[in-house]
Structure 1
């Protein structure tokens, strides 16, 4: 059994402002794998904890399952919470006092920065800090870090009455910053935004009509698989 640390809010929207409820800790079992043992830390917001989906349907759990023929993920930790911006994730990591080291670290953050109307410059500064923090968790090796792009919630029923084109433009702008900062450090950038725009059927939307279902999370994991395999071989 592996211990997974999960910080989350028990609310349906990823747009919650501030951390109004205390974080909680829970544990889950990882799939039994083969091959060498590896460890994995996932950092982020509602997309990382899988708001409105079962634990087994989080993209990180699908990824572990996809990797199990080559690697055994003996430890999978998550520091993420519905509603977090880059600033709040930075603070939460500090508060967690997590000193563990990992063979692979993922980062998926920024949708709440966009939704709250925060500036691109603020996002760039804090995202760059999170890349450095991620590398610190990965034996100070940027090659062991990968970033997933921000999904486009503008395709969900929640956004039906909103300016979907504006949402898409802004998310593209935030993703462009994230990709640019990753390229500076040689960090792989995995594009899952396009997937959210290509697969818009009801089966890809979570029951809250805002987040994405397990079927979508599985597609994200498939997209990240080759990158994860490269990282874990190093």
Structure 2
């Protein structure tokens, strides 16, 4: 019997699947797609709605050493924007996150992902001017890509897909988070661009 690959999904609402159910989150759908292709993958998804990089560091990173993942995804930053974190502070937090993952799971493949363009959602108006939010999201995603590359992680740029979904209003009933259909599209894109195996 083969040893299952171990997938740890770190993040916030966009990783746990807020707006739908956890079994329809992108990590859960991705695992099902991989299993259909014959991969034996065990998922741990500790992501929590509302989490910032601070929360991820405090509450999720300890699982890296205990779960012993072979694959880690990192998608975090939207709530840092909401709380007024600047881009360079966000960069420092990502450096800590990548450093800890590399230290505690040195052989794991790490895939970093952008946050979606939630400035296009109806609920974004409650957080400020949508054009300003869009520029900040783009800046944060640039920082996330730079830090992933610096750490030797893979960057899978789902942002064009995510932005198109936002323009099509593929949103959950809360008017902010992606719909189950949108999360499934992320998973399908990841299934074709990433492997559950270490490189």
TM-score (norm 2): 0.89
Shift of 1:38: 1.1
Gaps of 5+ in 2: none
Residue 18 of structure 1 corresponds to none
- SS of aligned partner of 2:66: coil
Would you say 1:145 and 2:85 are equivalent positions?
no
1:226 to partner: Cα distance: 3.3
Equivalent position to 1:215, from 176, 181, 184? 181
2:74 matches 1:107: yes
- 5 Å-filtered alignment, 1:52-67, equals 52-67=19-34
Q: Is contact 1:107–1:134 with CA below 8 Å preserved after alignment?
A: no
Q: Which of 93, 100, 120 is 2:87 aligned to?
A: 120
Work out whether residues 111 and 150 of structure 1, in 8 Å CA contact, stay in contact via their aligned partners in 2.
yes
Counterparts of 1:83 and 1:177, CA distance in 2: 20
Return the offset for 1:223: 2.0
Q: TM-score, normalised by structure 1?
A: 0.76
How far apart, in 2, do the equivalents of 1:215 and 1:71 lie?
23
Q: Does 1:45 align with 2:12?
A: yes
- Equivalent positions of 1:178-197 (< 5 A) are 178-197=144-163
Deviations 1:155-177 (CA, angstroms, capped at 9, x unpaired): 11112464221111001111111
Does residue 93 in structure 1 map to residue 60 in structure 2? yes
Distance 1:93 1:160, change over 3 A: closer
Distance 2:48 2:74 in 1: 13
Q: 1:172 to 1:178 in 2, by over 3 A?
A: same
Ranges in structure 1 where 5+ consecutive residues have no aligned partner:
1-33
Q: Which runs of 4+ in 1 moved over 6 A?
A: none
Cα distance in 2 for residues equivalent to 1:171 and 1:130: 19
User: What is the CA RMSD across the aligned residues, in angstroms?
Assistant: 2.2
Which has the larger share of helix? 2
Work out the CA distance in 1 between the residues paired with 2:84 and 2:32. Answer: 36
* Offset from partner CA, 1:93-112 (integer Å, 9 cap, x none): 36669622111111100011
- Is the CA contact (8 Å cut-off) linking 1:100 and 1:137 kept in structure 2? no
For the 8 Å contact 1:49–1:81, the answer to whether it is kept is yes
Q: How many residues align?
A: 196
